[in-house]
A and B are shown apart, each in its own frame.
Chain A
Amino acid sequence: MNGIPMEHGLLLSVVLFVLGLTGVLVRRNLIMILMSLEVMLNATGLAFIVAGSRWGQADGQIMFLLILTLAAAEVGVGLGLVLQIFRRFHTLDADSLNGMKG
């Protein structure tokens, strides 16, 4: 692990995070949005790992484990919601699901 400089790891994590954020903002399909969210979560996890290895401490990996469980739970709830939404509205277009506008 020592071969890879911290900057490279963090840069990769930033690139992944921005990719994920872009996916969330531009995709209209709810499933694609969920997937992009996963990418963002994993980018964050990567940043923790890189930082943990830079300081040589286990805290970063512990945080990653936390994020992993969080992501699993999120996907479970998110997919459940997606199923319900599809059943009720017969669409997964995030923009057409705007019934709660002010």
Chain B
Amino acid sequence: MIELLGWVPLFPFLGFLILILAGERLSKPLIAWVGVGSVAASALLAALIGAEFLNGTMQPYRLVLGVWMEVDDLSIPFGFYLDALTVTMLFVVTGVGFLIHVYAAGFMDDDPGYARFFAYINLFVSAMLVLVLADNLVLLYLGWEGVGLGSYLLIGFWYEDPNNGYAARKAFVMTRVGDTALLVGLFLLFTQLHTFDIQLLMLRATSQWTSGSLLPVAAAALLLGGALGKSAQLPLQSWLPDAMAGPTPVSALIHAATMVTAGVYLIARTHALFIMAPSVQFAVAGIGATTLLMAGCSALVQTDIKRILAYSTISQIGYMFLALGVGAWSSAIFHLLTHAFFKALLFLAAGAVIFCFHHEHNIFKMGGLRKAMPLAFWSFMIGSAALSALPFTSGFYSKHEILLAVFDASPGLWAAGCLGAIITGIYSFRLIFVVFFGRKCPVTKARVGWQMSVPLILLGALALLGGTLKIPLDSVFPVLFNHDHTFDLVSVVTALAPFVGLLIAVLFYLTHTFSAQRLAGSGLANQMRIFCFNGWGIDALYGALVVRPFKSIAKLNKNDAVDGIYVAIALLSRVGCSRVSASQTGRIRWYASSVALGAVVIIAIGWLS
């Protein structure tokens, strides 16, 4: 079974080819069968391969399909590499991806771009699978850019609205900034270590470089730059909230379950390099902690249901970075797994709510949906419980593990993480209390099809019970020495933090004991609210630093200074032509006198010289 590994990314790619070439001519059910079926085949194959791998010796498996390019001593194969980390990522991408595809078949039912949607989303899944399977950095980069392209196409899927196109371009350009850093990092690694193969690269890095010296620090910092862009971490995070312009299944797939975790995967995959650069690894933790607090504060004040979830995604990936930064590699990947479950669940449930409200996003225009939409309500309850890490949900196990590991490394970062957990509790239950309790709003269509409800139920089960999954990542990562924190103070505080958030949310939004309007209605508090609402002014900062100077330079150079040379040449020949052709009068006496004058001049020259 494991020899068929190459088919895992190939199935969605074939689906993409079929749909992009013949999609408009196929009937709607057939499109859904091709689009969903290709990912289903891929998920089934991945499950079989994963089962075979996990029941076997768990030795890393390498499959080379052929040579991609070969120049001198550089040889880049189409090589796939399977170990416990890859298997975990395969489960996430194909499993969650498949459920989201099924959901999308129902959600996008009345959209004219049905075939186009499935073509793009298949391309995206295929690229993501190449990314996680690649055994060398160049193939990984191919998947990395493919994912970027897929997200660009999907965010701008409803391209009739210029704002969506703007959001798509913003996402693409901002992730390109990180991609460029990654590319430079690739070149640096190759010129120093003469290979692109990831395992060999890590081996050579640990044997040839000394820990903490300039080269590993530079290489790790450049890879981190790429990861920051893709995973929407400070300072490249502002594209993710705008990326909510895409259809909701896209938000669930790209901006929760798969694409944004690519950066986490990259750092985990090259963890040997980061261990050799302790300063960069500490920066990873610092960035993670800062991002999770910033994004959490922004999520507190948003009114758009999808933007709340987007900021919470940034915040949760901040937790993963925090875990990576303190060397809790397997905890980070575990949180990635559980986050994929509960965030996909939340997005899909939000999609169901939006679907029934005819694309209304503002949570304050919703209310009292608890009775009208029980499935969405319970999905949200489970998702939010897992998101804020209430005990015995999947998010609890992973986040608890992270925070305990962080405490051993740095109590300061642990405090930030716990504060983040409180904030998470507030904003996730604020969302629930506003949308599902309180004043009732009329719902236009309360029924969702089975394509949309079945994935919700399955993801709900995974989000609830996913914490009991044991992934054997010890074969990939160095084992972290863990203090036993069972029932000591740190453990209890960590577990109680979300309840504090829950309590605050209850007091503010359920019983209305305190009024949020009065708290943030005026003065400094209101200004802080606006500051957080706008994502801490990051967009304004980039606007002032990059966008506006670029625009003014572009305006200055509107007529293209370099082009001026060629315009001048053309002008000169045109003027010369009109002058010279004016001398052609057509009068024979004029010509004769010119000849005579010319003869006189030439004779005079001959005489005088």
A contacts, CB < 8 Å to B = 21, 24-26, 28, 33, 94-95, 97-102
Beyond A95-B589, A101-B586, 4 additional pairs, beta carbon < 8 A: A98-B585, A99-B586, A100-B586, A102-B581
Contacts of A21 in B (CB 8 A): 596
Interface residues of B in 448-486 (CB under 8 A from A): none
The closest CB in chain A to the CB of B596 belongs to: A21
Main secondary structure of the interface of B (DSSP, over half): helix
Within the complex, the shortest CB–CB distance from A91 to chain B, in Å, comes to: 13
Contacts of A100 in B (CB 8 A): 584, 586
Q: Is the CB of B592 within 8 A of A25?
A: yes
List 9 tightest A-B contacts by C-beta distance, closest first. A102-B584, A101-B586, A98-B586, A102-B581, A100-B586, A98-B587, A94-B588, A101-B585, A25-B593
A25 to B597, CA, bound (A): 11
Within the complex, the shortest CB–CB distance from B344 to chain A, in Å, comes to: 77
Number of A-B contacts (CB under 8 A): 35
Within the complex, the shortest CB–CB distance from B297 to chain A, in Å, comes to: 77
Q: Is the CB of B589 within 8 A of A101?
A: no
Main secondary structure of the interface of A (DSSP, over half): loop
The closest CB in chain B to the CB of A24 belongs to: B592
Q: Is the CB of B586 within 8 A of A24?
A: no
Set A26, A97, A102: member contacting B588, Cβ < 8 A: A97
Task: Given A102-B581, A102-B582, decide whether A95 and B587 contact each other with a Cβ distance below 8 A.
Answer: yes
Interface residues of B in 560-589 (CB under 8 A from A): 580-589
The closest CB in chain B to the CB of A99 belongs to: B586
Set A25, A33, A97: member contacting B596, Cβ < 8 A: A25
Contacts of A99 in B (CB 8 A): 586
Q: Is the CB of A94 within 8 A of B586?
A: no
Within the complex, the shortest CB–CB distance from A25 to chain B, in Å, comes to: 5
A28 to B589, CA, bound (A): 8
The closest CB in chain A to the CB of B583 belongs to: A102
Contacts of B581 in A (CB 8 A): 102
List 25 A–B pairs whose Cβ atoms lie within 8 Å, in order of A's numbering. A24-B589, A24-B592, A25-B589, A25-B592, A25-B593, A25-B596, A26-B589, A33-B588, A94-B588, A94-B589, A95-B587, A95-B589, A97-B586, A97-B588, A98-B585, A98-B586, A98-B587, A100-B586, A101-B584, A101-B585, A102-B580, A102-B581, A102-B583, A102-B584, A102-B585
A99 to B581, CA, bound (A): 14
Contacts of B580 in A (CB 8 A): 102
Contacts of A94 in B (CB 8 A): 587-589
The closest CB in chain B to the CB of A30 belongs to: B588
A28 to B592, CA, bound (A): 12
A21 to B599, CA, bound (A): 12
Contacts of B584 in A (CB 8 A): 100-102
Contacts of B585 in A (CB 8 A): 98, 101-102
A25 to B585, CA, bound (A): 15
Within the complex, the shortest CB–CB distance from B583 to chain A, in Å, comes to: 7
A6 to B593, CA, bound (A): 29
Contacts of B596 in A (CB 8 A): 21, 25
A99 to B585, CA, bound (A): 9
A33 to B592, CA, bound (A): 11
A97 to B591, CA, bound (A): 13
